[in-house]
Structure 1
Amino acid sequence: MKIVSIRLLSILSLSTSLMMVLFLSPLRAQEKITQNQGDNLARSNTLIAQNVISVTGVSVNQTPEGLEVILETPSNSNLQPLIYPQENTLIIDILDAVLTLPEGEEFKAENPTDDITEVKVTKLDDNSTRITITGKTNPPIAQIVPSQSNLILSLTPSDAPKSEEESEIEIVATQTEQENNYVVPNVTTATRTDTPIMDIPQSVQVIPQQVIRDQGAINVREALRNISGVTLSNTSGNRGESFIIRGFNAAQFTNGLRDDFYSSRTRTDLANIERIEVVKGPASVLFGQAEPSGIINFVTKQPLLEPYYDFSFTVGSYDFYRPTVDISGPLTEDKSVSYRLNIAYENAGSFRDRVYTERILVAPTIAWQITPDTKLSYEYTYLYDQRPIDRGLVVLSDNQIPNIPIGRYLGDPEIQEQFTEQRSTLYFDHKFNPNLSLRSIFRYTYANEGGPGCTLEIFGDSEDDRNFPLGECIGNQDYETWTWQNDLIGKFNTGSVKHTLLFGTEYSRQSNFYEGAFRSAGTIDIFNPSYDFIFGEFDPPGIGNNQVTNFGIYLQDQINLLENLILVLGGRFDTYEDKGQFNGVPYVTNADAFSPRVGLVYQPIPEVSLYASFSQSFTPSFGTNVNGDPFKPLRGTGYEIGVKGELLDGRLLSNFALYDTTLSNILTEDPDNPGFSIQVGSQRSQGIELDVAGEILPGWKIIASYGLTNAEIAEDNTFPSGNRLNNVPTNTASLWTTYTIQKGDLQGLGFGTGIFYVSNRAGDLENSFYVPSYILVDAAIYYQKERFRAALNFKNLFNTRYFDGSQSRTIVQPGSPFTILGSFSINF
């Protein structure tokens, strides 16, 4: 759910498929009405949806909870309601819909329930419709029920008369793939409470489902390149994807729960992902251990209350095939139990020689609305992935990447690694009253990495810049995690000051077992390779296990000092233990840390937010110094100032930020005791970021970014100060835009194009070599009519030779050449 303050939005753009919750006091509603009610009709011709939608029927039905009002519209309609209370009446203006009722230009139902005296639907003007719902004492609570066509309002009476400052309206809707928007105004990741982006004192960007679909993104890296300061860190041999934000490694989460190498051994599949939220800057105050870069949070698709069925198929270059199924709807007549099921199968070749991959995703979710205030949800994910470990190309002694085909695989791709992941997550949500709620989450994950082989790859430098030593690994790894997270959210006032208080606890335990063996496999001539390998004997196997236990307790207060001044204060205390053994030798590491955050948001006008923040992070360090003392955690400290803007009546959202981030307590060589380390190292990143997303004109959408990142070593005993951090480009820029024809015989035909720039990057901390810069151009053409959509996506249109990044001189990851993806989908 999302909590959106209506005072922040000039026009509330809700479709029947966007999930959000709006809490509005009459004080703010009256402010909004005073400012905007006289301008609504004047603005109606400049709203997002210029095509007027016909309302062909209205019906009112009693339900166990109250009343249901249905406005019958064509399939895939995208209505734009503006909602506000007026005394005991709830007013809903739909500025892009016109009544075409057979019985006339007005619908009225009197006293449909004991608590609602009248429901009226009338023509407001030639392009607008008004719904008025009058309660006996208070405006009713309206819940927008997700639907692919009709606008459905589920009405329940207010519990009791409330004071002016305590009244609120709740509106709920769920975003599906039909949502046609590049702007998501609310996020949960930054504060763990549904908060407007304009009220958050740090940089937050969102990649919604619409952007993922328009770009034909088949992996996370293709989606995240739209955000400033975010670049690929490494792929762990093309089995996973990790990212850098503002110069440091980013932690990844799913629905606010950590996803590191204990719970995820391979890349995230996008089939069941609704959107991706990126919060920049130190985030340990709510999420525990993490570098000061920020976090990436994947938000999964949730059950819908109206039947929905979507079937799609994508085929592309290099024998790429991917069918997906997304179905949802109620399981009971009263819609108290609903489900969603996402299934994806992918079978693909690659531009890399003889490389084939296969993956299967099955992700069901069931939600039970036990009472209007209590909900229980269960989410399960099964992911199977099989692929060879692929380290890419190498660097020669002249610090250049050799001029060999980027498709050349320097190993044996027939040796496949198999990955299996299972996740079970139970969500419990309860609202004690309108001002106090609880969310409790329990998750168990199991991940296995193994298979008939493991990997055969280059394991060292070459003496002649031609023949590189090979080695083979075999082994098996098992990982389990248990996580229990609780968030208690309370809203209260101290005089005229409003508070949203979050108190939370999180307990997690992660464990793994691993075994493996290594043997030499001869050499490979990178210019004229032979795949007849000469094997040696396996070394004695390495066997180990470990268990990591973490407990965190956190407190946060979002304080509305004034209507346009918000203060965010928070802190978290974590205690951490990692213990295990390798080949019979035990080890243990303990750490604890306190992570604070202070942020301030000032809104000189509702459409502009000025913000500043200070926050810290921690990451455990392992080992001891020469005296046997355990190392302290790495500490990150971040400062950020910026400005956010809602432009074009809220259709365009922008964020400009300046930041300064330092990571300290880094281990570096002890000059007085060779073989030992001391914690005097530090790294620093400073930069500027700009992100813009939204709709400029009807049908013309854009998402663009620019990032300037100066990330370097500040102090170190091993590498010179001033060396650039590896895999961090100084400049990144992106621009993706689409236009869809709005009227006429070609209505629904659209075009898209994108340009993505990444400057050169240091390949290692020694800065011994650099990965070259690149510019990629993508294009798309698509057609959508009612329930059908077809698209062609052209990626790397000019077949640019480029590299995503590097981990070392023997691991340089090449990027994909020109590829074409064709897709079609049908939903109903």
Structure 2
Amino acid sequence: MVALRLPLHGLALAGVSLIALTATAAAQQSAVTLETLSVEGAAAGTGRGNGVVAAPGVRVPETARGPIDGYVAKRSATATKTDTPLIRTPQSISVVGAQQIEAQRSQTVSEAVRYTPGIYANQFGPDTRLDWFLIRGFSATETGLFRDGLQLFQTSFANYRIDPFGAERIEVLRGPAATLFGGSPVGGLVNIVSKRPTAEPLHYVEVGGGSFNQRYAAFDLGGPADDSGHWFYRLTGRLQNSDAQVRFAPEDRYYIAPSFTYKPDGATTFTVLTSFQRDNTGGAGQFLPYYGTVRPNVSGLRIDRQLNASDPLVDGYTRNQANLGYEFEHHFDDVWTVRQNFRYSFTEVRDQRYVGNGYADAAQTELSRYGFLTTPRAGLFTVDNQAEARFSDGYFGHTVLMGVDYKRYSLSDNQASSFPVPSLSILSPRYYQGSTSPVPYRVVNQQLQQVGLYAQDQVALTQRLTFLIGGRQDFVSNVVQDKLVLANSTSKDESAFSGRLGLIYNFDNGLAPYVTYGTSFNPTAGVDGNNRPFKADRGEQIEVGAKLQPVGWNTFFTVAAFDLKRSNVLTPDPTNVFQSLQIGAVRSRGFEASATANLAEGLNLIASYTVYGLRTIEGTTLDLGKVPVGIPETFASLWADYTIPLGDYKGFGFGGGVNYVGRSYANVANSLIVPEYVTFDAAVHYERDGWRAAVNIQNAGDKRFVSSCSTATACFYGTQRRIIASLGYKW
């Protein structure tokens, strides 16, 4: 094991050395443009997907980080870190564009990905604090959230949340991604691509409101900032005042994202991306018992979906978060390009509430509760240096990517609890009940550092056959200082290699079968009962699939079968409820299918289907052979939206969707079943002369359902019916 702690000046030297190396190599290479792997032409000044983009609605060839014309994306950089057509990418990836987010009026990133295969979001209901993701059966919440290709690492309640109004596209990569991104979940990741400065003037404002006393205003402004064509800007913001779907809890948000791009010439782009957000909410995480939500309790009662199990006397959640970063790109010639992507992210949270803990009486009408308080602060420094070369060796075409990245995560974690807390009647709840002051049980400082060296080659063996090979070596240092019990302070150094192989064949008719194999690792925080730090969890996957992009059709179809295994999984210790054992392994085998299509002018359709078998293959006698709790193994969705293109009713449109989620389990023994459920969405809208009015309804039938349960005393109601009316104007 090697401990690697690089100071900032050392990291800067690494970046300078990388640029110098690529500049020298560029002079020794003959530039050859590969038609099979070349980037399609972009708007003037866009480079290869970086920097300024065309304004939404302006028809130019798509780039990996730019707007999508309609619903059907053609390119992405998430799977390969290079601007690559999806039809030539040998791994499952789905892209949700800004137009789809607008059509469905998604309020959170979790809502925006509901029609995407392989991912189940908001398994804990409409949590007002953060977005939750399960990809192919494994959590991607803590280490699987990325923004602009850089990780937003979150742990111990120090979390981030991104307003989808600031997203140009949301990309869901399924399967291991550690070869390019280092420590990340084996199931996949969610990468949110920010809105960027536009080459054309953009002016858009929107107001709206609806259920739960929601009111909001949003704006999106951008374009050239000078007459010379060197400076561009964008300013995006959204302000919301609302209640949550449980009583006595606000859901307020203030978000603003200034950005600008400087292009001194056609080869160089420097884009600064910033965002600032404040969330003020409460009532998060309604931990309710299985009997009383999924099933009636012994008194034949079900708990009201709007019941706040906490108390307005103490209940409150505030988060201040900020992101400051840049993207630098320079093309030396037709072969070599270098990039440096940097961001510093900061978040501070105060979360205080009463938490449900089962029933306090035999009649099951009084909820037992305990008090909880946490005040974490976290800073995350990330930088990614890349060198890309596109050339031919005389036999094969190559897109070579080399890089070194660095991450430093610093956390100040404080958690406290209080006992006893007055119980709460589910029949006639009485609030404003005080309790004893919370007593700290965790006061920890943590610093995680990670350095990764990676290389990847996309080899065009023929005009149709592409081979992808990549490898990465990571060095991780994790230091945990326990301020309550100094003897529990630990440190651990790890190194890990991860790799990926892929092969894809592109037929002339648009069919592209592929096969890929990849491995992953993910550092695991915490210690076992003997105060030994946990090992990083490991994963591997083989995936076989096919993509279809029929010639002349604006459609994209995918199918994929996968076999995925995750090792070193934490398993509850049957002899100590406060400890975990790292003896687990879980296998996920399944099938996914999706269709994204513009079937006719004004008609867009999205469909997806996912089914997999999830089993614990190593663990204790309690969970061996069982399905992990809270994870549905089947889900499907369909959304269609139509806008009349011609005639007297031109601009009028309507849409609707259906979501099906299969059953899951509420306990390790798999004896408590959370039933399947189906919800419906609807939309009606009208566009004319720059104006757009819309009404969107989520869960139109107001279906009462439980999203999941993590234990028999921790179940979570799903989203109630939500109606949102909006009015926007673009000029």
Q: TM-score range by the shorter chain?
A: 0.7 to 0.9
Residues 703 and 24 from structure 1, CA distance in 2 versus in 1: closer, same or farther, beyond 3 angstroms?
farther
- Give per-residue Cα distances to partners, 1:532-564, cap 9 Å, x unaligned: 525235435642211111111111100000111
Task: Please report how far the alpha carbon of residue 473 of structure 1 lies from its aligned counterpart in structure 2 after TM superposition.
Answer: 2.9
- Give per-residue Cα distances to partners, 1:734-760, cap 9 Å, x unaligned: 000011111111111111010110011
- Give per-residue Cα distances to partners, 1:607-645, cap 9 Å, x unaligned: 010000100111223566788865432111101000100
User: Do the aligned partners of 1:395 and 1:401 also contact (CA within 8 Å) in 2?
Assistant: no
Q: C-alpha distance in 2, partners of 1:663/1:438? A: 34
Structure 1 equivalent of residue 224 of structure 2: 330
Q: Work out which of the residue numbers 412, 418, 421 in structure 1 matches 2:321.
A: 421
Aligned residue runs from structure 1 range 205-604, under 5 A: 205-232=94-121, 233-234=123-124, 238-250=128-140, 251-261=144-154, 265-396=159-290, 400=295, 402=297, 403-414=302-313, 415-450=315-350, 454-459=352-357, 462=360, 464=362, 465-520=364-419, 521-539=421-439, 542-582=442-482, 583-585=484-486, 586-604=489-507
Aligned residue runs from structure 1 range 33-112, under 5 A: none
User: Do the aligned partners of 2:681 and 2:700 also contact (CA within 8 Å) in 1?
Assistant: yes
User: Do the aligned partners of 1:358 and 1:387 also contact (CA within 8 Å) in 2?
Assistant: yes
Structure 2 equivalent of residue 95 of structure 1: none
Task: Please report how far the alpha carbon of residue 260 of structure 1 lies from its aligned counterpart in structure 2 after TM superposition.
Answer: 2.5
Residues 266 and 672 from structure 1, CA distance in 2 versus in 1: closer, same or farther, beyond 3 angstroms?
closer
Residues 537 and 353 from structure 1, CA distance in 2 versus in 1: closer, same or farther, beyond 3 angstroms?
closer
Q: C-alpha distance in 2, partners of 1:411/1:147? A: 45
SS in 2 for 1:271: helix
Task: Please report how far the alpha carbon of residue 655 of structure 1 lies from its aligned counterpart in structure 2 after TM superposition.
Answer: 0.4
Q: C-alpha distance in 1, partners of 2:586/2:680? A: 33
SS in 2 for 1:604: coil
Amino acid at match of 1:197: L
Amino acid at match of 1:329: G
User: Do the aligned partners of 2:327 and 2:342 also contact (CA within 8 Å) in 1?
Assistant: yes
Q: C-alpha distance in 2, partners of 1:147/1:347? A: 29
Q: Provide TM-score, normalisation by structure 2.
A: 0.87
Residues 460 and 505 from structure 1, CA distance in 2 versus in 1: closer, same or farther, beyond 3 angstroms?
farther
Task: Please report how far the alpha carbon of residue 806 of structure 1 lies from its aligned counterpart in structure 2 after TM superposition.
Answer: 3.0
- Give per-residue Cα distances to partners, 1:310-348, cap 9 Å, x unaligned: 001121111111110100011110121000000100111
SS in 2 for 1:720: coil
User: Do the aligned partners of 1:229 and 1:709 also contact (CA within 8 Å) in 2?
Assistant: no
Q: Work out which of the residue numbers 669, 681, 686 in structure 1 matches 2:584.
A: 681
Q: C-alpha distance in 2, partners of 1:491/1:528? A: 69
Residues 795 and 540 from structure 1, CA distance in 2 versus in 1: closer, same or farther, beyond 3 angstroms?
closer
Residue range with higher mean Cα deviation, 552-561 or 667-676: 667-676
Q: C-alpha distance in 1, partners of 2:108/2:697? A: 15
Residues 528 and 266 from structure 1, CA distance in 2 versus in 1: closer, same or farther, beyond 3 angstroms?
farther
Residues 684 and 315 from structure 1, CA distance in 2 versus in 1: closer, same or farther, beyond 3 angstroms?
same
Aligned residue runs from structure 1 range 630-709, under 5 A: 631-647=534-550, 649-668=552-571, 679-709=582-612
SS in 2 for 1:512: strand
Residues 256 and 591 from structure 1, CA distance in 2 versus in 1: closer, same or farther, beyond 3 angstroms?
same
Residue range with higher mean Cα deviation, 785-794 or 356-365: 785-794
User: Do the aligned partners of 1:310 and 1:826 also contact (CA within 8 Å) in 2?
Assistant: yes
Task: Please report how far the alpha carbon of residue 482 of structure 1 lies from its aligned counterpart in structure 2 after TM superposition.
Answer: 0.9
User: Do the aligned partners of 1:669 and 1:718 also contact (CA within 8 Å) in 2?
Assistant: no
Residues 401 and 192 from structure 1, CA distance in 2 versus in 1: closer, same or farther, beyond 3 angstroms?
farther
Q: C-alpha distance in 1, partners of 2:596/2:550? A: 10
User: Do the aligned partners of 2:666 and 2:708 also contact (CA within 8 Å) in 1?
Assistant: yes
Structure 2 equivalent of residue 776 of structure 1: 679
Structure 1 equivalent of residue 727 of structure 2: 824
Q: C-alpha distance in 2, partners of 1:646/1:393? A: 45
Residues 381 and 202 from structure 1, CA distance in 2 versus in 1: closer, same or farther, beyond 3 angstroms?
same
Amino acid at match of 1:591: E
User: Do the aligned partners of 2:414 and 2:440 also contact (CA within 8 Å) in 1?
Assistant: no
Amino acid at match of 1:797: A
Q: C-alpha distance in 1, partners of 2:695/2:609? A: 27
- Give the paired residue count: 677
SS in 2 for 1:211: helix
Q: C-alpha distance in 1, partners of 2:526/2:195? A: 41
Q: C-alpha distance in 2, partners of 1:241/1:342? A: 21
Q: Provide TM-score, normalisation by structure 1.
A: 0.77
Task: Please report how far the alpha carbon of residue 175 of structure 1 lies from its aligned counterpart in structure 2 after TM superposition.
Answer: 4.7
Amino acid at match of 1:808: T
Task: Please report how far the alpha carbon of residue 517 of structure 1 lies from its aligned counterpart in structure 2 after TM superposition.
Answer: 3.2
Q: C-alpha distance in 2, partners of 1:824/1:559? A: 48
Q: C-alpha distance in 2, partners of 1:200/1:755? A: 29
User: Do the aligned partners of 1:412 and 1:457 also contact (CA within 8 Å) in 2?
Assistant: no
Q: Which runs of 5+ in 1 are unaligned?
A: 1-22, 33-82, 85-89, 93-142, 153-169
Task: Please report how far the alpha carbon of residue 375 of structure 1 lies from its aligned counterpart in structure 2 after TM superposition.
Answer: 1.2
Q: C-alpha distance in 2, partners of 1:145/1:384? A: 28
Residues 748 and 255 from structure 1, CA distance in 2 versus in 1: closer, same or farther, beyond 3 angstroms?
same
Residues 191 and 486 from structure 1, CA distance in 2 versus in 1: closer, same or farther, beyond 3 angstroms?
same
Task: Please report how far the alpha carbon of residue 149 of structure 1 lies from its aligned counterpart in structure 2 after TM superposition.
Answer: 8.0
The answer to whether the aligner puts 1:789 opposite 2:687 as a matched pair is no
User: Do the aligned partners of 1:292 and 1:637 also contact (CA within 8 Å) in 2?
Assistant: yes
Residues 392 and 386 from structure 1, CA distance in 2 versus in 1: closer, same or farther, beyond 3 angstroms?
same
Q: C-alpha distance in 1, partners of 2:409/2:536? A: 19
Task: Please report how far the alpha carbon of residue 766 of structure 1 lies from its aligned counterpart in structure 2 after TM superposition.
Answer: 3.7
Q: C-alpha distance in 2, partners of 1:429/1:334? A: 20
Q: C-alpha distance in 1, partners of 2:567/2:207? A: 48
CA RMSD of aligned residues (A): 3.0
Residues 492 and 264 from structure 1, CA distance in 2 versus in 1: closer, same or farther, beyond 3 angstroms?
farther
Residues 748 and 671 from structure 1, CA distance in 2 versus in 1: closer, same or farther, beyond 3 angstroms?
closer
Residues 430 and 727 from structure 1, CA distance in 2 versus in 1: closer, same or farther, beyond 3 angstroms?
same
Q: Work out which of the residue numbers 613, 616, 630 in structure 2 matches 1:713.
A: 616
Residue range with higher mean Cα deviation, 717-726 or 198-207: 717-726
The answer to whether the aligner puts 1:812 opposite 2:705 as a matched pair is no
The answer to whether the aligner puts 1:146 opposite 2:46 as a matched pair is no
SS in 2 for 1:454: strand
Residues 771 and 357 from structure 1, CA distance in 2 versus in 1: closer, same or farther, beyond 3 angstroms?
same
Q: C-alpha distance in 2, partners of 1:512/1:249? A: 21
Residues 662 and 808 from structure 1, CA distance in 2 versus in 1: closer, same or farther, beyond 3 angstroms?
same
User: Do the aligned partners of 2:337 and 2:388 also contact (CA within 8 Å) in 1?
Assistant: yes
Identical aligned pairs, as a percentage? 28
Residues 175 and 598 from structure 1, CA distance in 2 versus in 1: closer, same or farther, beyond 3 angstroms?
closer
Structure 1 equivalent of residue 84 of structure 2: 195
Task: Please report how far the alpha carbon of residue 729 of structure 1 lies from its aligned counterpart in structure 2 after TM superposition.
Answer: 1.4
Higher RCO (CA-CA < 8 Å; seq separation 6+): 2
SS in 2 for 1:368: strand
Structure 2 equivalent of residue 742 of structure 1: 645
Amino acid at match of 1:640: E
Q: C-alpha distance in 1, partners of 2:563/2:440? A: 47
SS in 2 for 1:181: coil
